[in-house]
Structure 1
Amino acid sequence: MPKDLLLAFYGDDFTGSADLIMQYQRFGLDSVLFLGAPDQGELEAAAETHAVIGIAGVTRAMEPEAIRAQLIPALEQLAQLNPDFLLYKVCSTADSSPTVGSFEPAITWGQHLMCGAPVPVLVAQPNLGRYTVFSNHFAVDRGNVHRLDRQSIMTNHPVTPMKEADLRLHIELQLGMPVYGVDILALADVEQGQQRYAHALDDGASAIVLDSLTEDDLRRAGELVLRNTQDVQGFGVGSGGFGIGIASALGRKASARPDNIDASSGPVLAVSGSCSSLTSDQIEYAQRGGWHTIALDSSGSDSNWALEIQSAALEARREIQAGRSVILYTCGADSPRKARPVSVTKIADGLARAVRYCRESTDLGRVLVAGGDTSGYVVTALRARAMVTIGTVSGLTLAFRLQSDDLVTDGLEIVLKGGQIGGEDFFEAVRTGQTQLAR
């Protein structure tokens, strides 16, 4: 490759893929994010001019066989580029289970790629308040750090509730094979860290969990992984923190984060399929600040849902034309969806129809999509083929301009928000380009 560095990844959802792009941009690495299934020629052409090649998927919401069918061909395409490192990007809260969003297909494939060596797993991401210590994972929620199986958002997750904070045990349930770890103390000592890694290899571990509490830990973890994958195609499973670790281990220096986006030229439309309590708090905060909110009941029949979306889109159009920002949401504090899971594709298709209608019938220029799973399906339904970065929101997530085959949505500014991202004023920050509150 003409470039002196090439990193590649497949993201299990769109919000996480956007986050990884942002982390790599901190290191001055030009990136391109493909949506859907690019052909090999597109990937090879992009690799000539970019240091990072990413494909955004929706495997986090899939069952294992569906994951295998979508993920493995994409990883094989990316591996053909001979990148310096290949990552399966997953959420920094390790959202997964044996039946939905399982890491097993990626880890099994990765072991084959690396001639049977254990696949490194690093989901810590300190800049988002995600930490792993002695293989136990922790997450910040409203300023307090909780073990993941005691953090209310994750223990009550509607699809993959977290019942075990020890990532070794959590992943073993998905693999049915032993998972080892390199703890924070071993990581701080090069020789001891190497011994732990070699022990996992000698014992036939399928995966190895890496601790990290700081960005220095991420760098040390990245160095350890690169030392142990010199003779094979390096591959791992992890969050944007893994990307930070690899980039810094390769000698790249992080710079200031990209600029925040400018204020929107008009009202913003937000659509949310997130059931996170943080997102609910953000919606309530926006409502108090003057946003018009429309609660949607997605628990009924498909025909009722279609009527619900039609009515909400008409109401949203009136409010946008009157100069008010609008939120359509399917999961609030008293939502029927809390007790009755609903297909994410059903929700996303409806929300995408509302976005398209408002874009076509008003001067709507900016949209926020909340929900890690929802975001990918909404963007896909909008027929986007690529996204170009235009800035960040509070330094927490990127804002994009859509490149779409649909002339109505082509050029639309869009922000994709995971359920646990941002402070209470996040929606307002998307509108104004500024934030006053910490996450």
Structure 2
Amino acid sequence: MQTNPNERKVGQAQSECLNVQSTMDVEPILSRSQVKRLLCYYGDDFTGSTDVLESLFQTGLRTVLFLEPPTETMLSEQFRNVQCFGVAGVGRSLSPEAMDRELRPLLETLKSAGAAVTHYKICSTFDSSPDTGSIGKAAEIGKDVFRSRYIPLLAGVPYLRRYTIFGNHFAAAGDTVHRLDRHPTMSQHPVTPMAEADLRKHLSKQTLLKTSLFDLMALDGIYEKVEQRLHNLVHDEQPDLVLFDVLDESRLETTGRLIWAEAAKADDGLFVIGSSGVEYALGACWQADGLIAASIGKHVATGEVEQLLVVSGSCSPVTEKQIRLAMETGFVGIQVPVHDLIQPDRTAAALAKLEHEAHKAITDRKSVILYTAAGPTDDSIAMIREALMKQGLKAEDSGRILGSALGVLTRKLAAELGLSRILIAGGDTSGYITRELGIYALECKAVLDPGAPLCIAYSHDPQFDGLELVLKGGQVGGEHFFEKVRQGSS
């Protein structure tokens, strides 16, 4: 059942098919000789980082996501044909003090890579608070490192049904689009609940930096007039950040053109904050200008696998429904005994029991779902918080403890059963499992559902080199997403 490592050559073959211009062709457009790549990015959580992989893949650009900052040797030799690259991080879960320690040196490293645009990638639902994953703090660090005139800020992604209208943010849940402070999930988020839909007001609680709005009306009309409006706004208001409204693809392309024009003026590359809408915006501009060829990435096909292993640390209602429907259609669901896993004297026995149950089901030709919670109201959530408190630990420690245990379990199952495709739900869970598998980079292979591409893994461990992975955020994927991952794309 192992994947042929040669399948990973899809990225290299794709790169040869693309008419991506060389560095010498990019330089005149930017008027900067030090430009080496179009874009690099830091993802503030693990699953969200693959969202950018997908957007650039669909644009037609070969992109690699690293789990740790790549060395110059890796970029110049093993991945020399890569036009864009990213680094998966954990900024969304950090305090402002921890963000300063993590982000400042990392952004300095990205700056030295010589990309035209450096993107601090956030969730399209703007997950953040003054104490956790502060986007305002990221802006302060980025402004200090890059010294840009202003920082473009773009959260909307029409492809993912995320919209910013006159500064207020909206996101879909099922068939309905909700204002962010009334979104059924984000308004009740356990760590960063969104009580304010106006992104400027939300940011004002995180930073003293000034944010100006470039709204829908300003984005309408011929490009020269739009550009002049932006020039006037920056001149008159002297903002630190400019928030761009996003409603549709045409305005998104206009925004991409404005950001690209600003990149041409930035001596050390332009620092941008936003969702994967940044890549969709820039990609539309690059294609329209002929800087890159038309997209072909989404046409790459993959086959189905007989058994799929799903490991879920997500407690979102979207994942809950996906788990339930998958179990109704033949997947075997095994709930992880989280209360036992966080008790040091019970961990080994609990893992052994889980391994036995999952091994038997997969051997019986069944796809398996290992899940920590069946939605946000699962009793296990309260149980684990109480157990952690008794040990003197915090609620946020659950991700580390459970993620590490599930990483060990996933490694054993993948090695023993020769699994070729694994789906992981939840950012913390994804990070710990990929680390356990020795994975140091990912590359997009196919598009399945918006925001959760099928990726090929690069691993230091030969038995996991070429493994197919899907890393899914809590709000991502249709109702039957698990079966879609098992079947692959046609």
Q: 2:335 corresponds to which residue? A: 295
| Residue 244 (structure 1) shift | 1.2
Q: Is 1:427 matched with 2:482?
A: yes
* Deviation for aligned residue 1:144: 0.8
Partners of 1:51 and 1:3 lie apart in 2 by 13
> Match of 1:403?
458
Q: C-alpha deviations, 1:98-120, integer Å up to 9, x for none?
A: 11211134311332345363311
| Separation of aligned partners in 1, 2:67 and 2:141 | 22
Q: Check the 8 A contact 2:331/2:366 in 1, yes or no.
A: yes
* Number of aligned positions between the proteins: 435
State the partner residue of 1:77: 109
Secondary structure, aligned partner of 2:476: coil
TM-score, length-scaled by structure 1 = 0.91
1:268 counterpart = 2:308: yes
Whether 1:320 aligns to 2:362 is yes
Task: Provide, for residues 6-34 of structure 1, a one-character-per-residue CA deviation record: whole Å limited to 9, x for no partner.
Answer: 21111112322212122112222121222
* SS of residue in 2 equivalent to 1:87: strand
Q: Does 2:324 align with 1:284?
A: yes
TM-score where L is the length of structure 2: 0.82
User: Relative to structure 2, which stretch is displaced further, 254-263 or 4-13?
Assistant: 254-263
For the 8 Å contact 2:140–2:209, the answer to whether it is kept is: no
The one of 379, 394, 407 aligned to 1:336: 379
Change (3 A) 1:318 1:2: farther
- Check conservation: 2:148, 2:270, Cα contact below 8 A: no
Superposition map of 1:162-311 within 5 A:
162-189=194-221, 190=223, 191=225, 194-196=228-230, 198-200=232-234, 202-232=236-266, 233-250=269-286, 251=289, 252=292, 254-255=294-295, 258-259=298-299, 262-299=302-339, 301-303=342-344, 304-311=346-353
User: SS where residue 203 of structure 2 aligns?
Assistant: helix
Distance across 2 between alignment mates of 1:73 and 1:293 = 42
Does the 8 Å contact 1:272/1:328 carry over to 2?
Answer: yes
SS, match of residue 100 in structure 1: coil
Cα distance in 1, alignment partners of residues 47 and 228 from structure 2: 33
Following superposition, the deviation at residue 46 of structure 1 comes to: 6.4
- Offset of residue 197 of structure 1: 5.6
Change (3 A) 1:306 1:286: same
Amino acid at match of 1:159: V
Letter in 1 for 2:353: S
Residue 380 (structure 1) shift: 2.1
> Which residue in 1 is equivalent to 2:34?
none
Distance change >3 Å, CA 235–CA 194, structure 1 → 2: farther
Q: Structure 1: which amino acid aligns with 2:127? A: D
Fraction of identical pairs, as percent: 36
Give the deviation of 1:37 after TM superposition: 2.5
The answer to whether structure 1 residue 369 and structure 2 residue 424 are counterparts is yes
Q: d(CA) in 1 for partners of 2:138 and 2:77?
A: 25
Shift in CA distance, 47/174, structure 1 to aligned 2, threshold 3 Å: farther
What's the offset of the Cα at 1:226? 2.9
- Pick one of 119, 140, 143 that aligns with 1:111: 143
Paired with 2:332 and 2:367, the residues of 1 have a C-alpha distance of 6
Q: Is the 8 A contact 2:42 2:121 kept in 1?
A: yes
- Whole-angstrom distance in 1 between the partners of 2:235 and 2:428: 34
Contact conserved, 1:121 with 1:207, CA < 8 A, in 2?
A: yes
**One-letter amino acid matched to 2:214:** V
Deviations 1:65-121 (A, max 9, x none): 222222222222221232221111111111111112111343113323453633111
SS in 2 for 1:185: coil
Q: How does 1:80-95 map to 2 (within 5 A)?
A: 80-95=112-127
Q: Post-superposition shift, 1:408?
A: 4.1
Structure 1 distance, partners of 2:252, 2:38, is 19
Kindly provide the amino acid, as one letter, of the partner of residue 170 in structure 1.
Answer: H
1:209 is paired with a residue whose SS is: strand
Give deviations 1:33-86, integer Å, cap 9, x for gaps: 222122233334467422112212222222222222222222222212322211
Of 90-99 and 247-256, the range deviating more from structure 2: 247-256
In 2, Cα distance between equivalents of 1:152 and 1:307: 37
Q: Which runs of 5+ in 1 are unaligned?
A: none
Q: Please, which runs of 5 or more residues in structure 2 have no aligned partner? A: 1-22, 27-36, 386-394
CA spacing shift, 1:192–1:29, aligned 2, 3 Å: closer
Q: Distance in 2 between matches of 1:337 and 1:205?
A: 46
Change (3 A) 1:35 1:370: same
Cα distance per residue 1:353-411 (max 9 Å; x no partner): 12111112223221100013332232123221112333222454221222212344333
Tell whether the 8 Å contact from 1:248 to 1:254 is kept in structure 2 after alignment.
no
- Give the corresponding residue for 1:389: 444
Contact 1:7 1:83 in 2 (8 A): yes
Structure with max Cα Rg: 2
* CA displacement 1:317-368 (0-9 Å, x = unmatched): 1101111111111121342354333521212111111211111222322110
Distance 2:186 2:178 in 1: 10
Whole-angstrom CA distance in 2 between matches of 1:226 and 1:344: 38
Report the CA distance shift for 1:46/1:230 in structure 2 as closer, same or farther (over 3 A).
farther
Q: Secondary structure at the match of 1:6?
A: strand
Q: 1:138 matched to which residue of 2?
A: 170
